[in-house]
Amino acid sequence: MILHSSLRTICSLGLFALCTPAFAQKTSAPNLESRVEAQLAKMTLEEKIGQLNQVPGDISTGTDVGNDDLLAKIRASQIGSVLSHTNFQKKIMMQRVAMNETRLGIPLVFGFDVIHGYKTIFPIPLAQAASWDMGLIERIERIAAEEASADGQHWTFAPMVDVSRDPRWGRVMEGAGEDPFLGSRVAEARIRGFQGTDLAAANTIAACTKHFAGYGFVEAGREYNTVDMSPQRLREFVLPPFKAAADAGSASFMNAFNVLNGVPASMDKNLITNILRTEWKWEGLMVSDWNSFGETIVHGAAEDDLDASAKCLTAGSDMDMAGGTFQRGLKSALEAGRVTQAQIDEAVRRVLRFKFSLGLFDDPNKYLNQQRRDETLERPEFRAVAREAAAKSMVLLKNDGGLLPITEGSRFKKIAIIGPYADSKSNKDYMSFWTLGLGMREYDSTKVVRPAQALKPALEEMGFEVTVTEICLDANCFEKDYSVAIDAARAADMVIMCLGERGINCGESRSVTSLELPYDQNRIASVLGRLSKPTVMVLFNSRPLVFDWARENIPAILVAWQPGFETGNALADVLTGKVNPSGKLPLTFPRSLGQVPIYYNHLNTGRPQEQQGQVWTSGYLDSPVEPAYPFGFGLSYTTFSYSGIKLAKSRYKMTETVEAIVTITNTGRVAGEEVVQCYIRDLSADIARPVKELKGFEKIKLAPGESRELTFRLSEKDLGYWNNELVWKMDPGKFQVFLGGDSKNLKVGAFEMVR
Ligand code: BGC
């Protein structure tokens, strides 16, 4: 805090060369700090409070230019930002009013949830994480930023970096899964993609890292629920991706809806001011979640708008999204002495700095160029990346007898593609809540290449006879379709079942209490599966699902997630072997809901845990402890072998770097990509440590017979940990290092760290 305010003083004295707030380093906007101060000096209290007010646009509430007083409020300098507005011409109009018809001409900043693409829709973020391909993820977000910025959006509310272990929570689809290390790398890649190297460039947008913090751990997976966890666990599992995002220069952060350890996150001073701003030295803009300042009153942690405003601003939050709480309460909070003018100024400074960084003061219409819009949205080459991304995200869970890929000259002649998601023309499928539902987006289903639409011609071209049989999930037609589907399967030599979840059921406020394939689809799987045809189950899902019978009995299972616009093409690429699957699970798949939360980086109990049905062990009477599929798991059409781990020595000084070397060989007949994963275990720390912690990974491509040697380096930042007094430390003693292709099948090496 001392550093922070002295930096401010230096800045206000005009020694600007010394002032480089973390995110502003990435903008070419000139003389940032002096211009912020000059602007601030001109503003009245009302204008300042207006800058802290963000209001929703057309898609969420119907609030719009023309049908309410939005323009009047902009004219009155009561609005600093508009979110979720889709109409390009109206954005031009609003910006014109802000620039020309207000006293100071401060530009508006437009925010939007660009979650898995803007106009070109990519696989959901959880799927992207399953690619473990950071270069690909960065390219996706670069395209998303190209499109969003060309359509007048300046700011995305992404990446969501909430680590979660609970598939009941609908928003697992929006994150990178259960692991803080993988989550950190994904967060950095996404921020690099959105923000590029210069925030002021017309084709970049500001990132907003969310939701700070703990939201992924809502009790019972119930949306918006309470979160309670030890500060040590918070440091270890929740905060790392946020820290990585802050270090990567995320221009903004968003509060979380939840109460964390008793405090609503929007008014959590420890989180926002002590950890994020002071300890991590992050100087960006903190925006609330949708009315989360107002919800502090509902939580029973603030009395009224005045109290909520005072508590949220004092905690370090800056901008009020959609709640109007600051509009109603901040001035009275100042008059009542609950906040100071300096505190309000500090929040306004951050908003102004944000707008300057985006280059909005230099050219408020930079992002509102009709010609660029026409030339940019949905360019064909963006589709090519969407196809690549969808294929690389898919995870092959099972492939008994090498049933896949389907190749020419196969002994099968007739293939039946069956299921509710074989050819769904509904605009509720293959994408997510963020791109579908609630009348929120203008997408129509014709933009999606459906599975059968691409797979059927691809297979026919290879000489197969293909039938497509849809199964309607509506209770009225289910029984009829179901018997038609059985007939179709009987008539075929091979069956491809397309099952899963509706895209509309993925995302915010889509929590569930069952992980079984919804709408009785486990029954479809078992009835078709019992026909004993060679059968492939393709899942379109947004979370780990439970399909116990299919897991045991269906020979091939492919997790396709919600793949976006290029669903069918990507599926055809993978099923026909044009693309060799290389995705790995970013989230453990449980055998049953009863195992949740289940995650790979757990602590050991003091008891054996493998013996099902035995008392005095740490297990279940009715189920194994092991998950259905572990974190990091995914098969390929080829096989890889791992050599033993080579370590230069067995004892290292605590200041030294450990190098673990492994050789991976493609032992199969086709080229393939492998995600080589590096885990550690600290066996003798002063507190109990997880049985495994991911500390590195590399995705490599190997031709048949080719070998590659990889070296993973481990130093104090990998081997240390937060203890229960919240001190980062590393203890001498025994460690293990594990290298392999998933979190279970690993080669192991041992070393010791000594003083
Ligand atoms: C969500 C945020 C989102 C915001 C704006 C909220 O309900 O929690 O993640 O960015 O709405 O759409």
> pLDDT tens digits, residue range 639-657?
999 999 999 999 999 999 9
Ligand 1 proximity of 547 Cβ (cutoff 6 Å): no
pLDDT in tens, 307-366: 999 999 999 999 999 999 999 999 999 999 999 999 999 999 999 999 999 999 999 999
What does the pLDDT look like over 434-474, one tens digit per residue?
887 544 556 677 899 999 999 999 999 999 999 999 998 87
Among candidates 473, 475, 464, which has minimal Cα distance to 422?
473
C-alpha dihedral sign at 748, 749, 753, 754? positive
For ligand 1, atom 10, name the residue with the nearest CA: 157
pLDDT cut 70: percent of the chain above it: 94
Is 289 an annotated catalytic residue? yes
Alpha carbons 149 and 366: distance in angstroms, whole number: 9
In the reported structure, the alpha carbon of residue 510 is separated from the centroid of ligand 1 by a whole-number distance in angstroms of: 13
CA of 289 to the centre of ligand 1 (A): 6
174 lines ligand 1 (CB under 6 A): no
Q: pLDDT per residue over 573-597, tens digit each?
A: 999 999 999 999 999 999 999 999 9
* Residue whose CA lies nearest to ligand 1 atom number 4: 290
Q: In what order do the strands lie in the sheet with 109-112?
A: 155-156, 109-112, 81-83, 53-56, 320-321
| 356 alpha carbon – ligand 1 mean position (Å) | 24
With beta carbons less than 8 A apart as the criterion, state whether 751 and 651 touch.
yes
pLDDT of residue 442: 60
> Is the model's pLDDT at 17 over the cut of 80?
no
Interval between CA 590 and ligand 1 midpoint (Å): 28
Ligand 1 neighbourhood includes 118 CB (under 6 angstroms) = no
pLDDT recorded at residue 281 = 97
Ligand 1 in reach of 355 Cβ (< 6 A): no
Protein residue with its CA nearest to atom 7 in ligand 1: 290
User: How far out from the chain centre does Cα 132 lie?
Assistant: 12
Helix axes 180-195, 239-247, angle to 10 degrees: 30
- The pLDDT of residue 389: 98
Nearest to 425 by CA among 568, 308, 287: 568
**pLDDT at residue 64, as a whole number:** 61
DSSP class of residue 437 equals: T
pLDDT confidence of residue 731: 97
Q: For residue 111, which atom of ligand 1 is closest to its CA?
A: 5
pLDDT given at position 221: 98
Say what the pLDDT of residue 443 is. Answer: 63
Per-residue model confidence (pLDDT) at position 477: 78
From 508, 509, 510, 511, give the residue whose CB has the most ligand 1 atoms within 8 Å, as the site to mutate: 508
Angle between helices 180-195 and 134-150 (to 10 degrees): 40
Determine the Cα angle at 168 with ends 165 and 172, to 5°. 55
Q: Are 465 and 413 in contact (CB under 8 A)?
A: yes
**In this structure, are residues 524 and 499 in contact, taking their beta carbons and an 8 Å threshold?**
yes
Going by pLDDT thresholds of 50, 70 and 90, the confidence category of residue 27 is: confident
User: What is the reported pTM?
Assistant: 0.96
Under 8 Å between Cβ of 305 and 323? no
Q: How far apart are CA 387 and CA 380, in angstroms?
A: 11
Q: Which pLDDT tens digit goes with each residue over 489-529?
A: 999 999 999 999 999 898 999 999 999 999 889 999 999 99
Residue 426 has a pLDDT of 87
| pLDDT for residue 219 is more than 60 | yes
Comparing 122 with 476, which gets the higher pLDDT?
Answer: 122
Most ligand 1 atoms within 8 A of CB, residue of 115, 289, 510 to mutate = 289
- pLDDT computed for residue 5 by the predictor: 37
Residue 213 has pLDDT above 50, yes or no: yes
Report the nearest-CA residue for atom 2 of ligand 1: 289
Q: Does residue 251 carry a pLDDT above 90?
A: yes
Q: Which residue, judged by its Cα, is nearest atom 11 of ligand 1?
A: 290
- pLDDT-derived band at 85 (thresholds 50, 70, 90) equals confident
Report, as an integer, the average pLDDT of 75-102: 94
**What does the pLDDT look like over 700-748, one tens digit per residue?**
999 999 999 999 999 999 999 999 999 999 999 999 999 999 999 999 9
Q: Which residues of 155-169 are buried (b: 16+ CB within 10 A; e: fewer)?
A: bbbbbbbbbbbbbbb
Reply yes or no on whether the pLDDT at 10 is more than 50. no
Say if residue 570 is preceded by a cis peptide, omega within 30 of 0: no
Residue to substitute in 55, 59, 85, 113 for testing ligand 1 pocket (most ligand atoms within 8 angstroms of CB) = 113
Is 60 exceeded by the pLDDT of residue 19?
no
